[in-house]
Amino acid sequence: MQFSFVIGQEAVKEKLIASVNEKRLAHTQLFLGPEGSGALPLAIAFAQYVNCHNKKDGDSCGTCPSCIKYQKFAHPDLHFIFPTNTNDKVKKDPKSLLFTEEWREHLNETQGYADQNQWYEKLAIGNKQGTIYTRDADDVVKILGLKPYEAEYKVVIIYLAEKLMDQASNKLLKSLEEPPDKTLIILVAERYEMIIPTIRSRAQLVKVPRIPDEKIIQVLLKRFPDSIDESKAEDLAALVQGNWNMALNVVEFSGENEYNFITFREWMRLCFKPGDYFKLNTLIQELSRLGREKQKSFLTYGLNVIHSALLVNQKLEVKLIAGAEEKEYFKNFGPFVNNANSKEIYALLNDAVFHVERNANPGILFTHLSFRIIDLLKRGRVFAANAK
């Protein structure tokens, strides 16, 4: 991760670079910034810079052997400690080192902008709290005792230091106070008041401010030139308050929602007036290729449509975040989802989510679903006609 990939934070970058160039690198630092400000990517970029063989123009080179490993978050002298808990894979004594692979995946997926909630979702720890345990602190002490494999500086990054158990914090104190030579320990945190004072006093504080709206707007326009215009970018920036992770989530959600809406409407249209089996088949094939998570999202959207249609039928308010066109659709589609079929359609879609999760053959699944829905919509149409 080069500094140039970190959004904004120019002043912090300059200070960090100066500390290296002027050879006054602090060995224990606390990067403190609100969620989505990029404190973690800054820490990684900083560590990459420190170890780059070919620093130039205020950034790491991105191409030397050290940078290449850093950019995969897989350098043998780069260690991460982060909150974990038990899940299906690790049923007891969880700790960071047991989840290195998942963590690397998460960093790759988020381009270094790890997100606490998404991380817990990925770990599938349910409602349990993510925690950094005494076992993790023991690992840090062990890691620090080893010589670096190949880098000039061995780096330990502790993500969400506020999740350190008190006992774990106490075990780390000596290491933070007097880390071995050529070691860099970076604590990354969002909540200063939740870190115990003895830890705070041992680390040099690097404050990472929230990203200014102008910067969020600028990057949104650059990254999503086809889907986001200036006014949408301004709305989004106002909404997310400098939280880049949140901005990405909203963009992704609205893109997916748009796709789901248009595709679901088309699917129902083809099932409502069957006859164009070529088009229906093409759509089924498209849905089959989506990938499991997207298929689940699509079917879940369908459940929401059925639910919304029923609400509209009863003249109740739809609570979904829905655009005007979408609401219009619920109103038009609503009458055909009624006592004659709503329960069955709902159950069908629900079962389909269940089967997608268990790796059902998607081609068969969507074909079967389509033919069942053709029948059910026929019933709904008869019911609606008689009700008039």
Kindly list the residues in this chain that would bind Zn ion in the complex (CB under 5 A). Answer: 52, 54, 60-61, 64, 67
Amino acid at 371: F
CB of 84 to Zn ion, least distance (A): 31
Distance (Å, rounded) from C-alpha 368 to C-alpha 131?
A: 45
Distance CA 41, CA 99 (A): 19
Residue closer to Zn ion (CB basis): 76 or 323: 76
Between residues 71 and 308, which has the closer beta carbon with respect to Zn ion?
71
Eight-class DSSP state of 195: S
For the CB of residue 70, give the shortest distance to Zn ion in the complex, in Å. 8
Residue (61 or 290) nearer to Zn ion, CB = 61
Structure tokens at 286: 């498209």
Q: In the complex, what is the shortest distance from the CB of residue 4 to Zn ion, in angstroms, rounded to a whole number?
A: 13
Residue 6 Cβ vs Zn ion, minimum distance, rounded to whole Å = 16
The smaller minimum CB distance to Zn ion, of residues 59 and 136, is found at 59
Q: Which is nearer to Zn ion, 47 or 67 (CB)?
A: 67
Burial (CB count <10 Å: 0-12, 13-18, 19+), residue 62 = middle
Q: Which of 277, 258, 267 is nearest to 377 (CA)?
A: 267
Output the CA angle 178-179-183, nearest 5 degrees.
Answer: 150
Shortest spacing between CB 88 and Zn ion, in angstroms: 39
Q: How many residues does the chain have?
A: 388
What is the nearest approach in angstroms of Zn ion to the Cβ of residue 150?
A: 13
Closest by Cα among 134, 72, 77 to 103: 72
H-type alpha helices, the chain = 10-21, 39-51, 65-71, 100-109, 116-123, 134-145, 166-177, 197-200, 213-223, 230-240, 244-272, 277-288, 292-313, 324-333, 342-357, 362-387
Measure CA of the first residue to CA of the last residue in the chain; give whole Å. Answer: 64
Q: Closer to Zn ion at the Cβ: 45 or 114? A: 45
Question: What DSSP character marks residue 164?
Answer: B
**Closest CB 51 distance from Zn ion, rounded Å:** 8
Residue number, 54 or 204, with CB nearest to Zn ion: 54
